[in-house]
A = this chain, B = another copy of it.
Amino acid sequence: MILRLDRVQAELPPPSDPDPVGAGAVQELMGGRFGEMSTFMNYTFQSFNFRNRAGARPFYELIANIAAEEFGHIELVAATIGTMLSGASPNGEKPKFKQGALGGLKGMPNPQQAIGGGLGALCQDSHGRPWTGDNVFSSGDLVEDLTHNFFLETGARNNKLKVYEMVDHPAARALTGYLLVRGGVHQIAYARALELLTGADLTKLFPSPRIPTDKIPESKKHMKNGEHLKLYRFSPDDYREIVALWKGPHPETGEELEVVDEAPEGFEPNDPPSQPAVFAPDYAPEEIAEIAQKLRKDAGL
């Protein structure tokens, strides 16, 4: 079971200039083979399928706990896309049909982002193909699953960097700067687990790809806060045994890894503005607001 918090892990700038083409590229981080849906679902299924948890508890808990953090990452990617698409069609007034409120979006890479979705995130990659369960690897063999996860995070870092370099919208940069740091934590976590399980020394594989994360301004700010060293515990009472694995020096900086015994405080999410031109949340948002207000009042809120 999960409990959900109405807060996001990182702060995103509010909507500014819309960037539908850039938003299309950011979709890779949502629904691509190495996107956040993949990390979230891989670790979630591996935790569901974990056999003999009693015998191998720290490993089970590490995977389950990272899965929980990954939910926060699909949330952040969606928020980024919504931010980048806000205002992509004229806002703040009713659609006037003949003028073609969406004319400006003709030719956008994935027209479904406007035709099918209300200028929101899709469960697709940067090329409009849906995320698929084929992206989940869960062999049940612990060494093999950890090897996979290390590789997955490696590929994910590659993709995050590429999107960083391709899209300069401030929301995209804030997102990728943050994810590069947190994805790095997960990459190290799986390498550490492999090392502690087999005795192999993977330290020299880092950084992989060879990204100097501390040279990226939007990442550096999180490193200053030690975000590259912390593994948060995303549970009220469980997953306490992750301390058995997340420890020792950071393979790139040598600083000591640390478990934080609670979730990060997070931030109030942006409330993405209405887009009446795509009927989100309606042709006339103010009427929905009125109805909601009455329902609230009736309920004593």
Query: How many Å from the CB of A115 to the closest CB on chain B?
Result: 4
A3: chain B residues at CB < 8 Å are: 2-3, 5, 68, 234-236, 263
A224 interfacial by beta-carbon distance below 8 Å: no
Whether A140 lies near B120 (C-beta < 8 A) is: yes
Interface string of A258-282 (1 = CB under 8 A from B): 0000011010000111110111111
Query: How many Å from the CB of A265 to the closest CB on chain B?
Result: 10
A212: chain B residues at CB < 8 Å are: 97
Q: Which of B2, B200, B244 contacts A4 (CB 8 A)?
A: B2
Q: How many residues of A sit at the interface, in one of the four size bands?
A: 35 or more
Give the number of times this chain occurs in the complex, counting copies.
6
Report A226-275 residues with CB < 8 Å from chain B CB. 234-241, 243-245, 247, 263-264, 266, 271-275
Whether A117 lies near B139 (C-beta < 8 A) is: yes
CA gap between A143 and B281 in the complex, in Å? 8
Whether A97 lies near B141 (C-beta < 8 A) is: no
A97: chain B residues at CB < 8 Å are: 161, 164-165, 212, 215-216
Query: How many Å from the CB of A41 to the closest CB on chain B?
Result: 6
A16: chain B residues at CB < 8 Å are: none
Whether A111 lies near B58 (C-beta < 8 A) is: no
Whether B127 lies near A238 (C-beta < 8 A) is: no
Whether A163 lies near B6 (C-beta < 8 A) is: no
- Given that A56-B292, A210-B282, A235-B3 are contacting pairs, would A166 and B205 also be in contact in the complex, using a CB cutoff of 8 Å? no
A284 interfacial by beta-carbon distance below 8 Å: yes
A198 interfacial by beta-carbon distance below 8 Å: yes
Query: How many Å from the CB of A280 to the closest CB on chain B?
Result: 3
Whether A28 lies near B115 (C-beta < 8 A) is: yes
CA gap between A116 and B147 in the complex, in Å? 15
Whether A162 lies near B127 (C-beta < 8 A) is: no
Whether A5 lies near B237 (C-beta < 8 A) is: yes
CA gap between A53 and B8 in the complex, in Å? 15
Whether B100 lies near A165 (C-beta < 8 A) is: yes
Whether B106 lies near A22 (C-beta < 8 A) is: yes
Q: Which of B127, B131, B162, B274 contacts A55 (CB 8 A)?
A: B274
Whether B165 lies near A288 (C-beta < 8 A) is: no
- Given that A75-B48, A106-B22, A147-B151 are contacting pairs, would A140 and B278 also be in contact in the complex, using a CB cutoff of 8 Å? yes
**20 A–B contact pairs at CB < 8 A?**
A1-B9, A1-B234, A31-B133, A33-B116, A48-B75, A50-B272, A52-B271, A52-B288, A55-B274, A55-B292, A103-B166, A106-B166, A107-B109, A115-B126, A116-B162, A117-B139, A137-B155, A141-B158, A143-B209, A244-B296
- What are the 4 A-B residue pairs with the smallest beta carbon separation, nearest first? A118-B140, A123-B133, A140-B280, A49-B120
Q: What 8 additional pairs, Cβ within 8 angstroms, besides A24-B111, A144-B209, A161-B279?
A: A1-B5, A25-B115, A51-B118, A52-B273, A56-B288, A59-B292, A102-B162, A210-B282
